[in-house]
Every structure is written in structure tokens, then in C-alpha cells.
Amino acid sequence: MTNTIHIIGGGLAGSEAAWQAAEAGAQVVLHEMRPVRPTDAHHSDGLAELVCSNSLRSDDFENNAVGLLHEEMRRAGSLILKMADAHRLPAGGALAVDRENFSAGVTAALTAHTNVMLCREEITEPPEEWDNVIIATGPLTSPALAEYIRARSDAESLSFFDAIAPIVHRDSIDMEIAWMQSRYDKGDGKDYVNCPMDEAQYRAFIDALITGEKTEFKEWEKSTPYFEGCLPIEVMASRGAETLRFGPMKPVGLSDPRAERRPYAVVQLRQDNALGTLWNMVGFQTKLKHAEQTRIFRMIPGLQNASFARLGGLHRNTFINSPRLLDPQLRLKARPSLRFAGQVTGVEGYVESAAIGLLAGRYAAGLDTPPPPTTALGALIAHITVGAEADTFQPMNVNFGLFPEMVPSPRGKDRKKAMSARALVDLAGWLGTPTQSA
């Protein structure tokens, strides 16, 4: 096929890139290696498979940068946000989805699109005759393709570990001990299951996390750093006895209806599927061995009889040094026919990955005007291409620190609201659409 866009990888970034390019009228071939070649983290052959239900995070577009990114992507016709909204689960102010139905919806939409062809095959290196390619293979890029990228970029890929939190069967949670409440009663006020701890229980739990048997690293993995935004629970515990109590186990904004005072610490679980039968342990990504997870997590009051649908795990993520290797349109400087999208570019998080896919798809289809740097989309892509120091480049979530400051600059919450309002006005200009009301 002439003038065909070849997209390698059917995760969130590749799926979004394919949708954007196809909607712009381009012919797209989406190459996904599963199930021909499985990965350590995926469990199905569906496109855009998520690891946990709440991976899309806050949906508050006035006060949160990732929420603003959600809204910008919606207005740009994002398939990922369309399907997330269609398969949404209750999660307070967060955007959580039913993972299986979300993936099925993305897969169905792309396979039904007349401009998209889905090929189940592993691409170890793009043929030279492919002159418009997007590599969106994510953090689990196959070794052969990773070597191809390294050889053409003359730069070693960096890597870090990403840990997966356990999932508990809802009917195994002791609701005589646990209770339903969202922090500060956000959302409908009852989007989370809360398991309280007193001080003695908390201290014993911290000791168990620190001394529990962990997964051993292979020799080539030992120098790989963690991403600070997704530290294993036991690594956080090792940084100080109070670290978890001021992190994922903080009790603020919660009140145990059976007690006269606030718990010393709280473990929260969040709904993981539409039926409400599976609940994810919030912030409990871990590299503890499976037997240790079962033993230690059953120390949590309310989970003493917990049945686990999935225990935590650990996999390696790989990303390139984008500020050094890519131009502002995500093209590899050493071979401009190759673009990159998703986590492999060094953005962190599913939403950010899909956002870079959205831009890569538009660019590949000839819609090459960059989004304004005052938008979340523009700030994110500017960071990974021209805004970060190549020598110290690390994965980054979208945040208001990446946006140009306003002059004069409002303070506090007014600053975030003002930056979000400015972003949506500028986004409308970029999209060529009338400004939408908030």
C-alpha cells in the first residue's frame, strides 16, 4: 500500500495513534504481536489492555493536570477517552474503567474502521520501504525491536521497574471491620473500601513489609532504577516508618463509623470491574514473593481472610532518551521516517502515553501543527522533545510545572483553574473549533 502508516504496537498509544490517523483519512496498518508473542504483563490479546482499573487517574480538569489532559483529548476526538467514559466505574473524582470492556471497546472500534487493518504479527524491524512508521511498543518493547532502535539511535535505552498491585475478591473482605467511604467524601462518598489500622497493627505491618522475602533480580536488572511515582510498597516502607502513613495509607479525610477517633492508618481498595466483584489495593504495587504477599496482606484488618484474584508483580519498562533522539514531531533524528509514541518516549502513565499516541497519529497523517505549549498536550510533548535535559531525562507525568507561567500568575487553586481555562481556549484555536464552556 502506498502512503500507508504502519503502527507497531496495539497498546493505548498505538491504538490512539491508529484512530487519529484513520479519522484524518489515512490508511493505517496496526501491527500487534500478541497473541503471537506474549509479554510478561499482558493477559489477553485485546488492544489497549490496562493493568489496573484506575490507571487514568483524576478527571478534575479544572484543578488537576491529568484531568485537563483527559478533557483536551476528549475534545480532540480521542478513542481512548471515549471508551473510558463508556466503561467508567465509580471512583470518586478519578476516572476508573472496567478493563475488559474498555479493551474490547477499543478493539471493536479499530477493527470496524474502514481505514484500519489489524495484523497480528511481531515486527522485529520496520522494512526500509516503510516510509511512515510509528513505534508505539510501550515499556515492554521486544528485545529484537529494542536492539534495532538502539542501533539506529546510537544511544542506550534507559529502563526502570513498574510494579502491579494485588486485586482482592470483594466477598472475601470483612465488612464488619472495613467500611465504605471516599476520602473527604468525594464522588458519591462511598467509592472505596477502607481497612483501618491502629498504631501497633501498623508498626507490625511495616516490619513485615521490610523483612518479607522479595523477588530476586536478574544480574542485568540490578542497576535498573525505580520510577518514583510507582514505588513498590515495601520500598516506601524501607524509607521510614511513617512514609506509608503519609502516603497511600494516610488516614486523613476518612472516619471509621465504628470508632470514636480517626484510624492511625488506612488501607484503601478501589473497585476494579463493573460487577464490583474485584477490588484493587490502592498504592500496593509490590515485588514481594507471592506467598509473602498473601501472608503479609492478610495482616491488614478486614483482609484477614482475603482471597486474591491477582497478586502483585513486577516488570521492566524501557524508554528512549527522547530529548536527545527525537525532533518536535516525534521523529527519530537518525531516521525521520520513524516516529515514536507512548511510554517508550519517556512519558509516564496510560493517559500520557495515549496523548502522545494522539499527537503521533495526527502528525503521521499530515496534521503537523503542534499544540500550543499552554495546553496539556503541548506542555507534555514539549517536555519530552525540547523541554527536558537529555543528560538527566527521566519518565514524567503531566503536571502544571510543565506549563508556561501566566503573567501575572494567580496563586493557589486559582492558578490551576486559570491555567486550565487558558489551555482549553488555546486548544480550541488549535483544533479550529469554537471554545466550549467548562
User: Rounded to whole angstroms, how far apart are CA atoms 248 and 205?
Assistant: 14
The predicted model scores a pTM of 0.79
113-145 pLDDT per residue, tens: 999 999 999 888 999 999 999 999 877 777 788
35 preceded by a cis bond (ω within 30 of 0): yes
Instruction: Please say whether the beta carbons of 136 and 9 come within 8 A.
Output: yes
Order of all β-strands in the sheet with 331-332? 116-120, 28-32, 5-8, 133-135, 335-340, 331-332
CA nearest 376: which of 322, 430, 320? 430
The DSSP code for 402 is G
415-426 pLDDT per residue, tens: 899 999 999 999
Instruction: Please say whether the beta carbons of 266 and 300 come within 8 A.
Output: no
Q: Which domains does the chain have, with CATH numbers?
A: 5-53+77-157+320-398 (3.50.50.60), 163-316 (2.40.30.260)
Residues of the chain with pLDDT under 70: 1-2, 35-44, 52-55, 154-163, 217-225, 227-229, 315-316, 392, 434-438
pLDDT, position 437: 44
| Three cell numbers written together for 172 | 472475601
The DSSP code for 328 is T
- DSSP codes of every residue in 67-123: HHHHHHHHHTT-HHHHHHHHTEE--TTB-EE-HHHHHHHHHHHHHH-TTEEEEE---
